[in-house]
Structure 1
Amino acid sequence: MTNKILVALDFDHTIIDENSDLFVLNLVPNKELPQDIKDKYRHDGWVEYMGEIFQFLHRHGITAKSVEDCMHQIPLTTGMMDLLQYVGDSEKYEVIIISDSNSVFIDFILTNFNLKQKITKVFTNPAEFSNSGCLMVNRYHTQDWCDLSTVNLCKGHILQQYIQERKDQGINFSKVMYIGDGSNDLCPGLTLRSQDYLCPRLGFSLLKKISKLQKGEEKSLSPQVLPWDTALDILSLLKNIDAK
């Protein structure tokens, strides 16, 4: 077996400093969705809701190029370029993204920052533009086993499935680092071991969830917890691990 370190990242408010689904609303005429679109939102149907928005944008003449240009306006979080270059250029690491965004948005942004080659694999909702130019997004999967995750994307399941697949291929992850911000990032965190790291972004809901767990109100949490303000905090930890 070959030992490596797996760095798994969320995308919105983790790799980028925005929520890509919400940022695309800048393309909505007058930046205000009509009420009939808002009324279609369901808590367990975010992918379908975004599909309604993409159809609305398409009807109002928003092109694929307009969507791409919009995504190119989103900045990376501070220090993320340094972190991804460090781990992406080392054979000691594998880097995956597990995100409830979509493949088109993520591809546009990674390409814009010349980061695609730094990422081993992306797990997200598959998307493509139709022949007429409308962005179409499908669920990554439909799950009913995890109430911590969205119905279309169980991050813990995806993470553990990837770890097992790589183990079957002769790659053992001596450490796993999961970096995220939101409530749905708790699920993969609960699958981690004591030698692993869960890295919640300061000021976001994942850290609040972890604090509640650490007070013993819910399930136990095994990994070491590293709250981060910028990705340089995570890079510093990895450099210390590599120096040992």
Structure 2
Amino acid sequence: MAGVVLVFDFDKTIIDCDSDEWVVDELGASELFQQLMPTMSWNTLMDRMMKELHSQGKTSEDIVECLRRVHLDTHIISAIKSAYALGCDLRVVSDANLLFIETILKHHELLECFSEINTNPCYVDEDGRLRILPYNDPNTSHGCSLCPPNMCKGRIIERIKALTSTKGEQLIYLGDGKGDYCPSLRLTEGDHVMARKGYPLWELVSENAKLIKAEIHEWSNGEELERILMQLIPTLMSPTAPSFISMDCKHETMPMASHESISQALPVPHS
């Protein structure tokens, strides 16, 4: 049976909102956020906003509780669980941060479905403030003009493809934003890119379709995402693979080798 690797962006792909903006808005720091947005990079801005929330008495527990209120489309939940049940390797590549992503996925009982989460690291310092760091070493340029300085998703996709290509696995990339364009360019024939219609990735892919070697699929909402995946995945696997399975993501071990769980990461200051 051929393997399938599903790589999801997170904000406005797995969830409908932007998790960074959700936290800032829900915890009452929108005004400063809007003032600072034109003056600094997004990753630096979010670290600065965590400082502001901390100064207002907001704790990491307040942030976690806020994230648990993020709505997740039932079709997205079903698609993730079904893809996992079919044997797909699910991964996240996101410019959010580890705490936000893990909290939301864990709350919706989806965390165990993912073998890897590639995102900006974070930790709670000795003062109880959440610190958000860049994924990429700030002293080392990733050399990509399409991506923000803290993360090149294209380089992450190249690493994933290098690890999986020897197994004959095909990759499906799902995203919405401008930052998802670079990884779409790194896909090859036999791969697939699912771009959310009406969002920046869809516009860039539509305008530069000749540069995209992967097969392009558009989706608008969770229902369409689930339908496309459940049609696409069996065609990439063996002809005898079931066309649809829906079940919980449960297994004996959780191979999250690239990141720690929230319970481990939150109390320990970064060294």
Q: TM-score range by the shorter chain?
A: 0.7 to 0.9
In the alignment, does 2:202 pair up with 1:202? no
Deviation of residue 87 (structure 1)? 1.8
1:142-221 correspondence to structure 2 within 5 Å: 142=137, 143-166=141-164, 172-214=167-209, 220-221=211-212
Paired residues for 1:102-181 under 5 Å: 102-142=97-137, 143-166=141-164, 172-181=167-176
C-alpha contact (below 8 Å) 1:94/1:120 kept by paired residues: yes
2:36 corresponds to which residue?
A: 39
Deviation (angstroms), 1:89 = 2.4
Residue matched to 1:50: 46
What does residue 81 of structure 2 align with? Answer: 85
Q: Alignment RMSD, CA only?
A: 2.1
User: Structure 1, residues 190-219: CA drift from partner, whole Å, max 9, x if none?
Assistant: 1111211000011211110011102x5xxx
Query: Any idea what the Cα deviations from partners look like across 1:162-199, whole Å, max 9, x if unmatched?
Result: 222345xxx52431100000011011111111211000
Cα drift, residue 236 of structure 1: 2.8
Contact 1:163 1:173 in 2 (8 A): no
- 1:225 aligned to 216, 225, 237, which one? 216
Alignment partners' CA distance in 2, 1:202 and 1:16: 15
When the two structures are superposed, what TM-score results if normalisation uses the length of structure 1?
0.87
**2-structure distance, mates of 1:186, 1:196:** 14
Is contact 1:27-1:57 (8 Å) kept? no
SS of 1:12 mapped into structure 2: coil
With structure 2 as the length reference, what TM-score do the two structures score? 0.79
Quickly say closer, same or farther: Cα 1:95–1:193, change in 2 above 3 A: same
Match of 1:34, SS state, is helix
Unaligned runs of 5+ in 1: none
Which residue identity is paired with 1:148?
Answer: L
**Secondary structure at the residue paired with 2:167?**
strand
The code of the aligned residue for 2:35 comes to K
2:73 corresponds to 1:74: no
Aligned twin of 1:14 = 13
- State the match for 2:4 in structure 1: 5
The residue type paired with residue 38 of structure 1 is Q
Matched residue, 1:65: 61
Q: Secondary structure at the match of 1:153?
A: coil
Question: Which residue type is aligned with residue 162 of structure 1?
Answer: I
Percent of residue pairs bearing the same amino acid type: 24
Deviations 1:33-91 (A, max 9, x none): 238x8237445x21111111000000001111210111111122451111111122233
Aligned residues: 232
The CA distance in 1 between the partners of 2:143 and 2:114, in whole Å, is 28
What 5-or-longer segments of structure 2 have no aligned partner? Answer: 240-271
- Structure 1 CA distance, aligned partners of 2:148 and 2:73? 24
- Paired amino acid for 2:30: E
